[in-house]
Structure 1
Amino acid sequence: MEIRARAARRSYRALVTVASATLCGVLLAPAGAQAAPPGPPPGQAPSTGQALTTASATVPAKASAKVSRPVYSYEGAVRESVWVDTGLDGDGDGRTDRVAVDIVRPREPARQGRKIPVIMDASPYYSCCGRGNESQKKTYDADGDPLGFPLHYDNYFVPRGYAFVAVDLAGTNRSDGCVDVGGRSDIQSAKAVVDWLGGRARGYASRTGGERVRADWTTGATGMIGKSYDGTIANGVAATGVEGLRTIVPIGSISSWYDYYFAQGAPLYSSGPEWLSDYVESPEARTRCQAVQRDLVEGAPRTGDRTALWDERDYVPDAHKVRASVFAVHGMQDLNVRTKHLGQWWDALADAGVERKIWLSQTGHVDPFDFRRATWVDTLHRWFDHYLLGYDNGVEREPMADIERAPDQWSTDRVWPPRATAATTLRPGTGTVPGVGTLGRTPAAPGTTGTFTDDRRQSEEDWAAAIDRSTPAKNGFITRPLSRDLRLSGSGKVTVTATPSTTSAHLTAVLVDLGPDTIRDYGASGEGITTLTERTCWGPSTTADSSCYRETAARTTDVAHTVFSRGWADLGTYADPDKGRPLTPGTAYTLTIDLAASDHVVPAGHRLALIIGGTDSGLIDPPSTTPTLTLDLARTAAKLPLVGGAAAFQRATTGPVPRPGVSGESRPSGVTEPRPTPPIPGDRS
């Protein structure tokens, strides 16, 4: 299951089909999906009864090797559970909480006197909801020993000399403590495991007693990975600066929990973190964690005011503590964990000089295993080999960014955003149609205004579809058709000066590419992918843990426009972003709205549009009143990250417009040719 606050309101295109499944980012799996037979080598389709066997290594891999190889037995791997002491007593039972740590590791290295690194996924979803596109859960034998581990990380990496560690966050599955939704308990329950792996914390053979267990089989080098909530925990643990955490791979992950539930004071969902805590915690935790639940309710008021609770769950200010490298993956159309989380985290990591890499897809809240599988497994393999095994394979010298330009079509950038990117101010102007103006570099004349009335029934899609018409719920500002491709890369801002007619108002700003295109259908079930019946296998399997997963394909749709960046705010936060206040009708207020990070090319012949409206139906909650807002266009502007800056905008908005079907240039400035897709990874020799 995935993070979404609760049975959320339907978005404009049924973004979330099962609300409780959104933050976990999973789809319902067919019965028996985990019981697939053992599979063939990675990337090959399984045939009935075919099994993969791996040779036992007798010679350790050399540090100079380019790639780790599957030389260890998966079937004969050690599978064990350890309970690590967190040092906290979140449930108030008088003893420190222990979190369950399920481990699968190759047996041979310890016999050879070798220690191995760890790939770790700390999650609240292992028993309540499942992981991945097929909703896999952990499974155990009659004695409580682990048998089945969700996802392919164990099947693929254990034979290659890694341990896979699956941690139940405090208050979930077999762990003590309470779920506090990104707070101290969540982060410490995962950090304690990193410390135990490094010999700095205590582990035990049982939940309540038992002998001490030491992780004497590991180097202590740990990489954390996970999608959504899991990746959020990786961000939070990295922000503690914990020793031994060498890399993190956060996929569609949160960087600040306030920004998950609110957008500059505007509520994004009809509930707070207490719903999510209750949803994922174990039955025992629901009984003993009532005090934590009360704290979540009282500390997260629906007013949208920022409180100490949210400060504790904001990892961005601690980005300077991060020692790990970061490989971030995000869907640019993820309306669950929106790309504001990625943008502010990425920028803070850049300021701190953290080594990093990024993939940006056209999907919604989707794992790269399900939109670019072969390339993802190959890249992740080399990433872990470099940062956890120390192999000099050059992965850190490859282009920093891979960006999906069209379904299954990718380009790369040496750095991201490109060095030629410059914040460029574009300004709205009036047009011949009321409510439909121009977007350019020239400021509007003083006193020029635009007006709209909040309509909580309409969405960004409704506004964009009516961009050339005068409609009462939005103002739109449009460039002329572009003569050249224009690329926007990074995060933008829109400063609005608005006069409300009532005591409350919410604002939305969106950027739109006006022109026909074929895109991933991120608003449909699957958020840009279709799950097929065929399976491919990514490592050896056992009868209890299959490495074979259903393949996917891009689910596409033809559109007349594409919304590619968004931002929302409560106008009442004009004076203090952390606290809203009632508005005085008839008084002008100036507010800057953060636009979510993106990377989008508006092709020659298309138009770039900025839309300013009120409540974006399905994405933010409406204000307590229904205001009419008057925009002061002379004091309203968008500062956008244009590759090539003002000069690129000038070139794109002058000169002849190409005929339909003829591009203005071969590719936009700053975009390199895509790398060839590597062959499906198998057992390399």
Structure 2
Amino acid sequence: MARIGRLRSAGLALLSVAAVVGAGVATTPAYAADTANSIVIADGVTQPVFGYADAVRERIFVESPVDTDSDGLRDVVAFDIMRPKATEDGLKVPVVMDASPYYSTVCRGNETECKADLDGDGLLDKWPLFYDNYFVPRGYAVILLDMIGTNNSTGCPTTGGSSDNIGAKMAINWLNGRAVGRDAAGRTVRADWHNGRTGMIGKSYDGAQAMATAVTGVDGLTTIVPIGGVAEWYDYTRSNGVVTRGNSYPSSLANTVTNPARRDYCKPVRDALAAADGDETGDYTAFWNERSYVNKAGKVKASVFMVHGINDNNVKPDNMSKFWNAIAAHDVPRKMWLTQTGHVDPFDFRRAEWVRTLHRWFDFWLHGVPNGIMDEPRVDIERAADVWETHADWPLPGAAATDVFLKTGENAGSLGLVPLARPATAKFQDTPSQSQTTMVTNPTTVSANRLAFLSAPLSAPLHISGTPTVRLRASADQTDTNFGVILVDYGRAERVAHNVSGEGITTLTTEDCWGESSPTDDGCYKQTQKRVQTADYEVVTKGVLDALNRTSVRTAEPLVPGQTYNFDFPLLPEDYVFQAGHQIGVIVVGSYSGYSSQVDQTRASIEIALKSSKIVLPVVGGTAAAHAAGL
């Protein structure tokens, strides 16, 4: 049993853990009775030797440098802390922080837990999620931070803007003695119990907060765990010039996360968001550049453990891939899970393994426990329901861009590795009201509203890993149109039902418990299971483009009717295996209702030059593997 007591510095803590664990000290279960001022390492992980019911609970307020509501006062960031009682006697502990705009509105987790002060003493009695129940007894402090403009913080939300993202940085500055914190009575409070290391975690907007804080480069942020997080707010609300979410979405989301009593007060801020978001064009502007964390990834000092649903239609997986590729370019220590579900927390799709892995991740990065987690495969990928693979990286090593050309065929068009020998064209009509189901079903039936291209049945599995891209050589009879392309797997199989209620999971009535409890907050949560369905096809990935943005998302350039152009654009990233006997389908449409809220009403007639049109698939094994699969 390894024990770490009242150490004077975080550096000493790291050396002491490494020394006792590395020396091969025998480990046995340990209990709080004999470890009042020590964390305990047993079986390679920190043990629950501290109380939960008697943990110290406090609320701290730190002044920020911004004034979002223009009231002449700097906005104040509020956050709630729970830490082991032993920190009052000299124990130094790290922080696990979830910064969120949702604690009093949408709330958190599969069971929609809100913060709650049940007795009115200004301190939390009900803490959302399991982090406090599980990690505080193991020698961590947990901070739940209210994003500026939400719950107990002042100001107004700005939906991913720089002022949204200052709160967690200010909390980390306070933890490390670089900012003044006060309690509700105005008394100065210092974090003399902190060991200098903070990890941030959170799903969706909370995950965006973690990435946004990391790209500030703030000292003391050691690791982040973004789950389905927004890394590019442009890609969250637009795609290649097409508005994919409703008009004035940043303003709408800001309204959602603002407490009802403050919504009228914050209306001028929301009006300014609506005026600046550029809905009328869908172009990429300075408004969206401010809300890009990918562009600032070079400042990241923290390690990153990403989790994302490869079928997430809320925060689409290009948010994952762009941030992942950006931090990889800067050699940031990193790990990732990719799941077949949609917008779901790993606590609800792989619970036991998630808690085990997250525990080891935080132990390594925040307590310095040398548990070997960084020597393990970097990426876990869910191949089928609850069937996981590990890989060295993502995209998988050996994935290579492979040209697959659109060709003519008897009924539907065909696909092949060699382009047509002679020029040929195919025409269709942009039909804004066409549903995705209509687009992809009956691919061998000729339709005036889409083009369908099918491979022959595959003779061997074909694995793609990465981001497919499309080149359409095309003309239109109008000055504007949209394009959409859908990659489909045609073949009957059991698949994760990510496209129905629950986004791939079903919530059960039974519970299991993860951590300690108090009379007002237990660590027990409803169990879940994967939702599966047997279907004749799967929409693998998809993408859209506003033809006006064919050369740049920053500027629009009208078409000359009848003139032929190249329209190049990415589909959403994927990691997918087409099974032997299945057929690969490529569906080409104009406007893509269901994917985007903005459809083009010009209803252009579009003509595709097939010889120069193709989809480029990131095939594991490249062209040789595509040949072997019968393409």
What is the TM-score normalised by the length of structure 1?
A: 0.85
1:278 aligned residue (251, 255, 264) = 255
Secondary structure in 1 matching 2:394: coil
Task: For structure 2, list consecutive stretches of 5 or more residues without a partner in the other structure.
Answer: 1-30
SS of 1:136 mapped into structure 2:
coil
Q: How does 1:60-209 map to 2 (within 5 A)?
A: 60-61=38-39, 66-111=44-89, 113-140=90-117, 141-206=119-184
Residue 627 of structure 1: how far off its partner (Å): 1.5
Alignment of 1:57 onto 2:40: no
Q: Does 1:316 align with 2:300?
A: no
Q: Check whether the contact 1:520–1:556 (CA below 8 A) recurs between aligned residues.
A: yes
- CA drift of 1:70 comes to 0.4
**Partner secondary structure for residue 296 of structure 2:** helix
How many angstroms does 1:55 deviate by?
4.6
Query: Where do 5+ consecutive residues of structure 1 fail to align?
Result: 1-52, 655-685
**Equivalent residue of 1:599, what SS?**
strand
1:357 aligns with 2:335: yes
Q: CA deviation at 1:583?
A: 2.6
Name 2:20's counterpart in structure 1. Answer: none
Q: Is residue 2:512 matched to residue 1:539?
A: no
Describe the superposition over 1:354-380 as per-residue Cα deviations: whole angstroms up to 9, x where unpaired: 111111111111111111111111111
State the shift of 1:148 in Å: 1.0
Map 1:622-633; keep pairs closer than 5 Å.
622-633=599-610
Question: How far does residue 63 in structure 1 lie from its aligned partner after superposition?
Answer: 7.6
Distance across 2 between alignment mates of 1:191 and 1:284? 27
Quick one: distance in 2 between partners of 1:245 and 1:462? 48
Instruction: Tell whether the 8 Å contact from 1:65 to 1:391 is kept in structure 2 after alignment.
Output: no
Instruction: Supply the AA of the counterpart residue of 1:281.
Output: T
Opposite residue 419 of structure 1, the aligned amino acid is P
Counterpart for residue 678 of structure 1: none
Q: Which runs of at least 4 in structure 1 moved beyond 6 Å after TM superposition? A: 62-65
8 Å contact from structure 1 (residues 64, 391) kept in 2? no
Task: Describe how 1:225-624 pairs up with structure 2 within 5 A.
Answer: 225-271=201-247, 272-283=249-260, 285-302=262-279, 303-433=281-411, 436-620=412-596, 621-624=598-601
Amino acid at match of 2:68: G
Stretch of structure 1 that moved more, 127-136 or 563-572: 563-572
CA distance in 2, matches of 1:227, 1:203: 27
Separation in structure 2 between the aligned mates of residue 444 and residue 232 of structure 1, nearest angstrom: 45
Q: For residue 643 of structure 1, what is the aligned residue in structure 2? A: 620
Encode CA deviations 1:226-246: one digit per residue, 9 max, x unaligned. 110000111111111111111
- The separation in 2 between residues aligned to 1:353 and 1:381, in whole angstroms, is 23
Structure 1 stretch displaced more, 381-390 or 447-456: 447-456
Which residue is 2:5 aligned to? none
Tell me which amino acid in the other structure corresponds to 1:627: A
User: Aligned letter for 1:89?
Assistant: D
Q: Deviations over 1:404-455 (max 9, x none)?
A: 111111111122222111111111111112xx21212111245311212122
Instruction: Output the aligned Cα RMSD.
Output: 1.6
Write the distance in 1 (CA, Å) between the matches of 2:174 and 2:500.
43
For 2:60 and 2:589, locate their aligned partners in 1 and report how far apart those are by CA, in whole Å: 53
How many angstroms does 1:344 deviate by? 1.0
* 8 A contact 1:56–1:73 mirrored in 2: no
State the distance in 1 between where 2:419 and 2:34 align.
Answer: 71
- Cα separation, 2, equivalents of 1:65 and 1:411: 25
- Contact kept, 8 Å, 1:304 with 1:580, in 2: the verdict is no
SS in 1 for 2:51: coil
* Contact 2:98-2:200 within 8 A present in 1 as well: yes
User: 2:592 & 2:522 partners in 1: Cα distance?
Assistant: 43
Counterpart for residue 7 of structure 2: none
- Would the aligned equivalents of 1:460 and 1:510 in 2 still touch at CA under 8 Å? no
In structure 2, the residue matched to 1:657 is none
- For 1:147, what is the secondary structure of its paired residue? coil
Maintained 8 Å contact 1:265/1:577? yes
The 2-side partners of 1:415 and 1:465 are apart by 34
Count of residue pairs the alignment pairs up: 597
Decide whether the 8 Å contact of 2:40 with 2:47 is kept in 1: no
**Offset of residue 504 of structure 1:** 2.1
C-alpha displacement at 1:331, in angstroms? 0.9
Aligned residue for 1:186, secondary structure, equals coil
Deviates more, 1:354-363 or 1:441-450: 441-450
Instruction: Using CA pairs under 8 Å that are at least 6 residues apart, name the structure with larger relative contact order, 1 or 2.
Output: 1
| 2-structure distance, mates of 1:65, 1:522 | 36
TM-score (normalised: structure 2): 0.92
Question: Quick check: 2:228–2:308 contact (8 Å CA) kept in 1?
Answer: yes
SS state at 1:146 partner:
coil
1:329-352 residue CA offsets vs partner (Å, 9 max, x unmatched): 111111111111111111111111
Per the TM alignment, residue 556 of structure 1 is displaced from its structure 2 partner at its CA by: 1.0
Higher deviation after alignment, 134-143 or 624-633: 624-633
**Is 2:39–2:49's contact at 8 Å kept on the other side of the alignment?**
no
Question: Residue 559 and residue 98 in structure 1: after superposition, are their counterparts in 2 closer, same or farther (change >3 A)?
Answer: same
- Post-superposition Cα deviations, 1:118-147, rounded to whole Å, max 9, x if no partner, equal 110000100011100010000113121111
Residue 213 of structure 2: SS of its match in structure 1?
helix
Alignment-mate amino acid for residue 413 of structure 2: G
SS of the residue 1:157 aligns to = helix
**CA-CA distance at 1:391 after TM superposition:** 0.7
2:150 partner SS: coil
CA distance in 2, matches of 1:197, 1:425: 52
Tell me by how many angstroms 1:609 deviates: 1.8
Task: Name which of 175, 182, 187 aligns with 1:211.
Answer: 187
Quote how far apart the aligned CAs of 1:468 are.
1.8
Instruction: Name the CA shift for 1:569/1:521 in 2 (closer, same or farther; >3 Å).
Output: same
